[in-house]
């Protein structure tokens, strides 16, 4: 018998586990999930602010500093395997 350490496609817990992982990761990067809209993540840093909107494995990012967003993009790519 296989004891799963990671989730597998088709399990009931899989979507939840993914949200847990991505939200934890974004929090680690300084993003705060909105209380009333948990798929919206916001980061404020002085005059800089960023918004990440999550749609399962797809996301759009906007903000007023390009280098910061590109940094997040790179980090996501190396830590979570993403493609833009």
Partner 1 sequence: MQRPEESTDATRSERPQRTIVKLARYRDENFISTYSCFFTGPINDEEPHTFEEEKENKEWELAMDDEMKALEKNQTWSLVPKPKDVQPVSCKWVYKIKRKADGSVERYKARLVARGFSQKYGEDHEETFSPIAKMISVRMVLTLTTLHDRKLWQLECVLIWGAG
Residues at the interface with partner 1 (CB under 8 A): 1-22, 37-40, 51, 53-64, 66, 69-70, 73, 76-77, 80-84
Question: Residue holding tokens 């919206």?
Answer: 40
76 to each of 10, 13, 21, 44, how far by Cα in Å?
Answer: 24, 22, 12, 19
Q: What's the closest the beta carbon of residue 47 comes to partner 1, in angstroms? A: 13
- φ, ψ dihedrals at 7, nearest 5°: -80, 165
Nearer to partner 1 (CB atom), residue 11 or residue 32: 11
Q: What's the closest the beta carbon of residue 25 comes to partner 1, in angstroms? A: 10
**Which of helix, strand or coil describes residue 37?**
coil
Nearer to partner 1 (CB atom), residue 13 or residue 45: 13
């Amino acid at each position: 018998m296989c004891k799963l350490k990671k989730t597998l496609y088709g399990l009931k817990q899989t979507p939840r586990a993914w949200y847990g992982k991505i939200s934890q990761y974004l929090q680690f990067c300084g993003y705060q999930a909105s209380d009333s809209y948990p798929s919206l993540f916001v980061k404020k840093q002085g005059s800089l602010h960023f918004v990440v909107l999550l749609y399962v494995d797809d996301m759009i990012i906007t903000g007023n500093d390009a280098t910061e967003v590109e940094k997040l993009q790179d980090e996501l790519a190396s830590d979570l395997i993403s493609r833009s």
